[in-house]
Amino acid sequence: MDLGTLIGLLAAFGSLGLSVVLEGGNLRALVSMPAAVIVFGGTLGATLVSVPLSEVLKLPQLVRLTFFPRPVNHAGTAQDMVRLAGVARRKGLLQLESEMAEIKDPFLIKGLALVVDGTDAEMIRETLQTEIEAMEARHRASAKLFLTMGGLAPTLGVTGTVMGLVNMLARVSDPASMGPAIATAFLATLYGVASANLIFIPLGNKLQARSEEETHLYYMLLDGLLSIQSGASPMVIEERLKSFLTPRQRSWGREASAPQEESRAA
Average pLDDT taken over every residue of the chain: 86
pLDDT for the residue numbered 29: 81
- Above 90 in pLDDT, residue 191? yes
Given pLDDT bands bounded at 50, 70 and 90, which one contains residue 253?
Answer: low
The candidate with the shortest Cα–Cα distance to 157, out of 65, 49, 32, is 32
Asked if 64 and 214 count as a contact pair (C-beta separation under 8 A), the reply is: no
86-135: per-residue pLDDT in tens? 988 888 888 888 888 888 889 999 999 999 888 899 999 999 999 999 99
- Above 50 in pLDDT, residue 261? no
Q: How far is CA 41 from CA 26, 146, 155, 189, 191, in A?
A: 25, 15, 13, 14, 12
Give the up-direction half-sphere exposure of residue 68: CA atoms within 13 A in the CB hemisphere: 3
- Above 90 in pLDDT, residue 48? yes
162-189: per-residue pLDDT in tens? 988 887 777 667 666 666 778 778 899 9
* pTM for this model (two decimals): 0.81
- Above 50 in pLDDT, residue 233? yes
Asked if 32 and 184 count as a contact pair (C-beta separation under 8 A), the reply is: yes
pLDDT for the residue numbered 265: 35
